[in-house]
């Protein structure tokens, strides 16, 4: 007999009034019969078990199919309880012991700190948490501490002082913004080397949900709340690259993307049409395509192996310094200087690397750490979570019709195959952003992880303060610095 199919426990039990053999195999499968053979994987399907008198209830989350005909129908995860009565009190005790031992051996989280962002996306995160997330954590017997975020940077500030020894992970029921805040908070702690190792989970409840989509799509799962929570409960982990963006003494830690040009303009300027809902991005995207902007600027980078032919050789562009500007939040910058983050970025000697350069003008420059920027935007189909590189997607000269066609393929990643797109992987990157080619009194927006990092003059809401100014910035990647809960 295959050792994995050796029974750890077997018994004749009663299920729904029917006496049937039930076995827990060494590979973690529960087998029984209710007229037909039934099977549950303790590792994959079982959330927990509870006892009530002589009965044992197995709480599980299993795949089901919509519709009366299962063929071709999409699968969904649904809660399902299986109740059985062992043949004796001794058998009942042994079942509880064996099930407990097997579940405990899986290393699942037992205590989680959960951020819920009630303001993100469709402002439905609180409802999603109450109706979908909390019941699953309760079924899995996970103790949770919940914190609703009250304002921007609240999650970052809480994370900086959180006693992480009390928790097995931090979960964000939100879009990508709260996850980014948590990473920045962890890396601004004195104990950052320990803190950044705490596993992070994300449940899609925001506008973009790029990280949740990237994680779930990597195993072919839909970007659904139940799938995301299931991944957290199972406790599997994977490393995640973290990019450090530097301008002078100011640092920002990015895990998703940076955009400058067309993509940033659409993402940020379309907010004026927020009343249109998700259609605002398509509408404003078309507006920007019909009145296309190009930006003067310069991109320098250290290519990954195999991408050395892109650009022209150049010297290290130099460390960016902070320029004083009216749209720079100097008070925040000064505070960051006083309370320097204990993590200062990857220890890389950038001066001795083989830098290359591409000069503008540019229609769009996009850097990505993971494949999906949003649930419908596969920005960088070749991006990996922890390969130590960022994927750089650039568009320079491109006629309107090919550009329109290209943008329509963002949901499949097909845009990177366009001859008008330059797509490569980089270890380090420097951006020197400039003004628009046709109106040099106006500049652009630098968008990082869905938030404005810098606004140039003449841009949408240019009077608002930003962490950095519209000037040179530098990015380097630290491979696998953070840790994510992952479906596998």
- Of the residues 11, 45, 168, 176, only one is catalytic, namely 176
Whether 454 and 395 share a structural domain: yes
Please spell the DSSP secondary structure of 383-451, one letter per residue. --SSSS-EEEEEE-S--HHHHHHHHHTTTTTGGGGSTTEEEEEEEEEEEEEEEESS-TT---EEEETTE
Per-residue model confidence (pLDDT) at position 331: 55
Pairing type for strands 111-116 and 170-174 reads: parallel
Whether 399 and 258 share a structural domain: yes
Q: If you search the block for the tokens 């229609």, which residue do you land on?
A: 363
Read off the CATH number of the domain in which 197 is found.
Answer: 3.40.50.10330
Residue 243 lies in a domain: no
* Regions in the chain scoring below 50 on pLDDT: 68-69, 326, 334, 337
Per-residue model confidence (pLDDT) at position 337: 47
Read off the CATH number of the domain in which 26 is found.
Answer: 2.30.29.30
Measured between alpha carbons, how far is 250 from 322 in angstroms, rounded to an integer? 8
Residue 486 lies in a domain: no
* Catalytic annotation present for 176: yes
pTM: 0.93
Residue 18 lies in a domain: yes
- Residues of 453-478 as b/e, b for ≥16 C-beta within 10 angstroms? bbbbeebeebeeebbbbbbbbbbbbb
Residue 336 lies in a domain: no
Per-residue model confidence (pLDDT) at position 346: 94
Q: What angle do CA 229, 55, 105 make, to 5 degrees?
A: 45
Whether 409 and 261 share a structural domain: yes
Residue that terminates a domain, selected from 235, 269, 295: 235
Whether 274 and 419 share a structural domain: yes
Q: Are 112 and 232 in contact (CB under 8 A)?
A: yes
Whether 280 and 191 share a structural domain: no
Whether 362 and 445 share a structural domain: yes
Residue 332 lies in a domain: no
What range does the domain containing 51 cover?
A: 7-66+73-105
Whether 224 and 284 share a structural domain: no
Whole-angstrom Cα Rg for the chain: 25
What residues have CB less than 8 Å from 260, skipping those under 6 apart?
A: 295, 297, 362, 364, 365, 366, 431, 433, 444, 445, 446, 447
Whether 126 and 98 share a structural domain: no
Measured between alpha carbons, how far is 170 from 266 in angstroms, rounded to an integer? 31
Report the domain count for the chain.
3
Q: Are 426 and 304 in contact (CB under 8 A)?
A: yes
Q: Return the structure tokens found at 111.
A: 């205590």
Residue that terminates a domain, selected from 235, 261, 289: 235
Q: What angle do CA 334, 340, 342 make, to 5 degrees?
A: 165
Residue 294 lies in a domain: yes
Read off the CATH number of the domain in which 430 is found.
Answer: 2.60.200.40
Whether 217 and 184 share a structural domain: yes
Whether 24 and 137 share a structural domain: no
Per-residue model confidence (pLDDT) at position 341: 59
Residue 189 lies in a domain: yes
Measured between alpha carbons, how far is 5 from 136 in angstroms, rounded to an integer? 29
Whether 371 and 274 share a structural domain: yes
Q: Return the structure tokens found at 213.
A: 């989509």
Residue 240 lies in a domain: no
Whether 222 and 296 share a structural domain: no
């Amino acid at each position: 007999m295959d050792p994995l199919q050796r029974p750890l426990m077997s018994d004749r039990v009663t299920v729904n009034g029917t006496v049937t053999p039930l076995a827990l195999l060494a590979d973690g499968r529960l087998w029984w019969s209710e007229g037909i053979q039934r099977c549950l994987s303790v590792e994959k399907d079982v959330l927990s078990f509870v006892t009530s008198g002589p009965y044992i209830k197995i709480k599980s989350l299993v795949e089901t199919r919509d519709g009366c005909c299962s063929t071709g129908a999409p699968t969904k995860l649904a809660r399902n309880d299986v109740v059985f009565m062992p043949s004796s009190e001794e058998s009942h005790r042994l079942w509880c012991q064996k099930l407990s031992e097997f579940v405990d051996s899986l290393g699942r989280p037992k205590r989680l700190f959960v951020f819920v962002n009630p303001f993100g996306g469709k402002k439905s995160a609180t409802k999603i948490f109450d109706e979908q997330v909390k019941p699953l954590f309760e079924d899995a017997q996970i103790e949770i501490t919940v914190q609703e975020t009250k304002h921007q940077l609240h999650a970052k500030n809480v994370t900086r002082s959180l006693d992480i020894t009390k928790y097995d992970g931090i979960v964000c029921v939100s879009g990508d913004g709260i996850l980014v805040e948590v990473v920045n908070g962890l890396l601004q702690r004195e104990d950052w080397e320990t803190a950044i190792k705490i596993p992070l989970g994300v449940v899609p409840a925001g506008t973009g949900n790029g990280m949740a989509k990237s994680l779930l799509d990597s195993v072919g799962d839909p970007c659904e709340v139940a799938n995301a929570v299931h991944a957290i409960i199972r406790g599997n982990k994977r490393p995640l690259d973290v990019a450090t963006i530097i301008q002078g003494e100011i640092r920002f830690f990015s895990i998703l993307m940076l955009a400058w040009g067309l993509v940033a303009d659409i993402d940020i300027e379309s907010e004026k049409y927020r009343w249109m809902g998700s259609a605002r991005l398509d509408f404003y995207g078309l507006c920007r395509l019909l009145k296309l902007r190009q930006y003067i600027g310069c991109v320098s980078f250290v290519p990954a192996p195999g991408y050395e032919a892109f650009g022209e050789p150049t010297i290290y562009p130099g460390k960016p310094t902070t320029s004083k500007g009216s749209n720079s939040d100097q008070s925040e910058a000064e505070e960051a200087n006083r309370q320097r983050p204990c993590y200062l970025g990857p220890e890389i000697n950038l001066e001795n690397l083989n830098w290359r350069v591409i000069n503008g003008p540019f229609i769009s420059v996009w850097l990505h750490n993971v494949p999906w920027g949003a649930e419908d935007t596969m920005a960088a189909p070749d991006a990996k979570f922890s390969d130590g590189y960022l994927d750089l997607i650039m568009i320079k000269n491109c006629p309107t019709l090919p550009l329109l066609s290209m943008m329509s393929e963002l949901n499949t990643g097909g845009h990177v195959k366009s001859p008008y797109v330059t797509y490569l992987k980089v270890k380090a990157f420097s951006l020197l952003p400039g003004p628009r080619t046709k109106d040099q009194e106006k500049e652009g927006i630098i968008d990082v992880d869905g938030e404005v990092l810098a606004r140039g003059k003449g841009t949408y809401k240019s009077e608002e303060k930003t962490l950095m100014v519209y000037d040179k910035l530098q990015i380097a990647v630290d491979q696998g610095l953070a840790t994510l809960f992952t479906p596998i």
